[in-house]
Structure 1
């Protein structure tokens, strides 16, 4: 079978024993790599998370420190992943690294949790934030009705699912357009903040650390909210097979994109604080809209449209990569075969995309933005920590493996310690049954792994369902790279 991780699915075709083999090209250069990381990171978070970081930290100064620390942690994690990506030159990100370094059971638990929870939760959270901004334009004098928000979010998922199933080029064109739009909006916000500061609106920043919250747990939860905005720093590792000269371009793209995004986030937050008091920011349902009403007045619609494009594009990218993770895991035999198939004409992994959309819609119905971020962040950093542990193990036990790019061991050690902290902090400070449910869900994958993966149990009716799905969706298996 073949992975469809790349943003371009144009393929070389080779006839071998009357069988068509699909091979993906290395088409992503440095500029495209930087654009992909930037576009994946800048989504809904910078427009939704600032009030939550402030809520948990209590002061603007502490909030800015959290944003800077999140950027530093994302940078260290991405540099560690860059070494992994230049040693294990396969697509799939955390899944393939855990599979190669730690073992099949942890890799299966990752794919099981990612496909059922993490990626759909991320898509649900982004689509809910998209809905917040779209619906807010029609309910400026009152809170937006929950039923309207959730119907809008579901519609967003359906539209994205159709686009991604129909055409990869269309999906990538939308992502590029949305990336350009979100950068324009953020530049407007940053410039507006500079103007306010020049005019003397510095009251909030003068007592920046007043009322700062202290505690093991609040900082961890604030990190979850901030790191939500940096999610996507590892996106390029999901498409390593499609990156030109990955030994050079992967670390270079990381070193350019993440500091750029960190600076943009810090400047945008300063602009928010220059325009609004902490109380106004905390009570805002849509921070960028509230900022626009204060600064732009009747021109606030520019922010509304821009943020809607931004969140839509981020959701599009998350669905794109989420479908591919599902596809790669199925290709490796850890998910049903039907999820590793592609449409025979459109060359899109439509079964994996449809499955991801269905789970995302289910999560939207009972969920809210803050809880989705917290619980998905809890599980995500468990697997990030496992991946980084695999890198440390590889550096110690396999020192002779050729490494085109190498980071000092202290960097993955710091990321591993941060991962452990981010997993334990909320649980220790404020134990909730929901965290236990997340752990139990992950461990429940063992019940499936033992009979289905380890002992390769398969039912005849399951094979029949796969055949019917092939006919219904017009999909077929693909060939893996040699």
Structure 2
């Protein structure tokens, strides 16, 4: 006990003097007297890979996007086609990523591929865009979805006021950030429970829909293309909302180094997992249309709640409850991964050092988590869900397109690389062309300030790279040193040491 007190006093003294004490990260099962080789363990198999894809993709999107997809397509038939096409596009994109992931077997996903094909600047801009735009805006979207479903029981028959949903979303962001900052184990236990709840509510909706179709509730599928919209901009916005629900199709590439047999399990997980999610999404949308006309669905403030009220009475209260669980779980997962991405990027020197520190008592990347939470709260203040989805999708598909373009480029510039999974070159060409369409079409067909703000963020990343990464201006270090010291003292954080 005395030794422990002496150790703590030493740490406190070093922190007070501005010296960051190292923190040794020991993995589970490591003996204190034996050095451990610090490498990622290959313990993710085929079933785990499929579960990761399905669990990551099914989140808040299927409960909020059907309304926006229908609004932009104008009819039941085109909306179901868009949901199917989004699943096909996600599968094609993921197969291109499987080619990249087995050719460049480094974790990190797009960052590693862009670095290999185009050099450090596009790779940095991707990490910057993820940290400043994609991850916090995704966190904000999911928390706004949580807030809408949490508030709807208190406002029967009408849409909850925006101030209420935004305040609830901000509270959710704060709670989830605190949860992940306090304990990794607690956040993991919460995530496991909420994932089960998410899958259960999706299964309930699908089964109820199948029963209703068997009973002959198919009136809304007659003349299903009447009133369809086919404009350049509206179709792209329908894809934005549909693809938001499929986001996560590329997540397996972030853990390539941990797959037991990446050459087999990566493509198989994609071929099985994404079509499985596509079928689930189509069946859920069909279930919605068995009880609601297109007009009723568009007027619903929460489509899953309306479905539950009409089908699951007197147990309809289960639907908003489980959707709240599902969206809270998706937000928890988003916060968890965003914190790790920010932490690793800062550790590599591409962000300020304080974001690479961890709490000396709880061993969590709390500065990175708090930074992501602050940005998410900023995003929910001026925007609604649809605006944020457009903002998120615009940023994402710029770099998805660049990543599939990198596959095409490396077919000619890196012929020496081994390619255990080699997709036909037509696949990355198709995905790249669709990505260009998805980036240009909304600007041409439905211009919005969100696209300008997103472009400015990306350009801001280029300025940040030149000033802080490329030139390493000494004056920036002088400014940041006292700020880092005071934040370190305030949050009780220090750099992590990854070895003995």
Q: Does 1:438 align with 2:454?
A: yes
Post-superposition Cα deviations, 1:344-398, rounded to whole Å, max 9, x if no partner, equal 4433222111110111111112221111001111111001111111121112211
Task: Pick the aligned partner of 2:146 from 91, 110, 130.
Answer: 130
Contact 1:95 1:329 in 2 (8 A): no
Q: Does 1:469 align with 2:498?
A: no
Partner in structure 2 of residue 196 of structure 1? 212
Contact 1:330 1:340 in 2 (8 A): yes
Partner in structure 2 of residue 346 of structure 1? 362
Question: Structure 1 pair 169/23, CA: closer, same or farther in 2 (3 Å)?
Answer: farther
Q: How does 1:312-351 map to 2 (within 5 A)?
A: 312-351=328-367
**What is the alpha-carbon distance in structure 2 between the residues aligned to residue 29 and residue 238 of structure 1?**
15
Q: How does 1:150-169 map to 2 (within 5 A)?
A: 150-169=166-185
Task: Pick the aligned partner of 1:74 from 90, 109, 114.
Answer: 90
Question: Structure 1 pair 84/470, CA: closer, same or farther in 2 (3 Å)?
Answer: farther
SS of the residue corresponding to residue 199 of structure 2 reads helix
Shift of 1:437: 2.9
Q: Does 1:416 align with 2:438?
A: no
Shift of 1:180: 1.6
Shift of 1:203: 0.9
Shift of 1:304: 1.0
Post-superposition Cα deviations, 1:391-449, rounded to whole Å, max 9, x if no partner, equal 21112211220123222211111111110010011111123343233212211222221
Contact 1:14 1:22 in 2 (8 A): no
**What is the alpha-carbon distance in structure 2 between the residues aligned to residue 352 and residue 237 of structure 1?**
22
Q: Does 1:26 align with 2:42?
A: yes
Question: Structure 1 pair 26/340, CA: closer, same or farther in 2 (3 Å)?
Answer: farther
Question: Structure 1 pair 448/274, CA: closer, same or farther in 2 (3 Å)?
Answer: same
Contact 2:58 2:246 in 1 (8 A): yes
**What is the alpha-carbon distance in structure 2 between the residues aligned to residue 417 and residue 107 of structure 1?**
21
**What is the alpha-carbon distance in structure 1 between the residues aligned to residue 42 and residue 347 of structure 2?**
20
Partner in structure 1 of residue 414 of structure 2? 398
Normalization by structure 2: what TM-score? Answer: 0.89
Question: Structure 1 pair 169/28, CA: closer, same or farther in 2 (3 Å)?
Answer: farther
Partner in structure 2 of residue 229 of structure 1? 245
Normalization by structure 1: what TM-score? Answer: 0.93
Partner in structure 2 of residue 119 of structure 1? 135
Post-superposition Cα deviations, 1:59-82, rounded to whole Å, max 9, x if no partner, equal 100000000000001111111111
Partner in structure 1 of residue 13 of structure 2? none
Of the structure 1 ranges 469-478 and 253-262, higher mean CA displacement relative to structure 2 is found in 469-478
**What is the alpha-carbon distance in structure 2 between the residues aligned to residue 466 and residue 88 of structure 1?**
35
The structure that has the greater radius of gyration is 2
Shift of 1:14: 8.3
Structure 1 gap ranges (5+): 1-7
Q: Does 1:242 align with 2:258?
A: yes
Contact 1:37 1:236 in 2 (8 A): yes
Compute the RMSD of aligned alpha carbons. Answer: 2.2
Of the structure 1 ranges 217-226 and 239-248, higher mean CA displacement relative to structure 2 is found in 239-248
Of the structure 1 ranges 144-153 and 342-351, higher mean CA displacement relative to structure 2 is found in 342-351
**What is the alpha-carbon distance in structure 2 between the residues aligned to residue 31 and residue 320 of structure 1?**
22
Of the structure 1 ranges 278-287 and 358-367, higher mean CA displacement relative to structure 2 is found in 358-367
Q: Does 1:207 align with 2:223?
A: yes
Partner in structure 2 of residue 374 of structure 1? 390
Contact 2:42 2:260 in 1 (8 A): yes
**What is the alpha-carbon distance in structure 2 between the residues aligned to residue 244 and residue 438 of structure 1?**
38
SS of the residue corresponding to residue 113 of structure 1 reads helix
Shift of 1:143: 2.2
**What is the alpha-carbon distance in structure 2 between the residues aligned to residue 13 and residue 23 of structure 1?**
16
Partner in structure 2 of residue 3 of structure 1? none
**What is the alpha-carbon distance in structure 1 between the residues aligned to residue 343 and residue 93 of structure 2?**
24
Task: Pick the aligned partner of 2:299 from 276, 283, 302.
Answer: 283
**What is the alpha-carbon distance in structure 2 between the residues aligned to residue 83 and residue 476 of structure 1?**
38
Contact 2:390 2:450 in 1 (8 A): no
SS of the residue corresponding to residue 49 of structure 1 reads helix
Partner in structure 1 of residue 15 of structure 2? none
Structure 2 gap ranges (5+): 1-25
Q: Does 1:177 align with 2:193?
A: yes
Partner in structure 2 of residue 460 of structure 1? 478
Shift of 1:130: 0.6
Question: Structure 1 pair 425/165, CA: closer, same or farther in 2 (3 Å)?
Answer: same
Question: Structure 1 pair 328/45, CA: closer, same or farther in 2 (3 Å)?
Answer: same
Of the structure 1 ranges 60-69 and 356-365, higher mean CA displacement relative to structure 2 is found in 356-365
Task: Pick the aligned partner of 1:146 from 120, 142, 162.
Answer: 162
Number of residues of Structure 1 aligned to a counterpart in Structure 2: 473
**What is the alpha-carbon distance in structure 2 between the residues aligned to residue 413 and residue 283 of structure 1?**
39
**What is the alpha-carbon distance in structure 1 between the residues aligned to residue 27 and residue 236 of structure 2?**
39
**What is the alpha-carbon distance in structure 1 between the residues aligned to residue 219 and residue 128 of structure 2?**
49
